[in-house]
Amino acid sequence: MPRGVFNWSFHDVEKFLRSKGFQLNHIEGSHYYFTVSLNGIIHQVCVPFHGSKTFKPRTLKGIIVQSGFSKEEWLAG
């Protein structure tokens, strides 16, 4: 599993989101939109797909904020 905010690829993020109940809502170009309802609040996360490239830490931070989960939950796997 990835360590810290480095080395997270699209597939790692997708696997984490699906394990938390997110489902693919739609795709626009190279961006995948996942949604879930947590405590009555709908969260939508936009995840860019660019092959097997890893995300920059700032991009991953944006994904973490959109998801509604804490950074610690993400890093714990």
Q: What is the per-residue pLDDT for 17?
A: 96
pTM (2 decimals)?
Answer: 0.89
* Average pLDDT of span 40-68: 93
The pLDDT of residue 2 is above 60: no
Q: What is the per-residue pLDDT for 5?
A: 75
Task: State the DSSP code for 7.
Answer: S
For residue range 3-42, what is the model confidence (pLDDT) as tens digits?
677 889 999 999 999 999 999 999 999 999 999 998 899 9
Distances in Å between the alpha carbon of 39 and those of 2, 3, 11, 36?
28, 29, 26, 10
48 near 10, Cβ under 8 Å? yes
Fold that domain 10-69 belongs to in CATH: Metal Transport, Frataxin; Chain A (3.30.920)
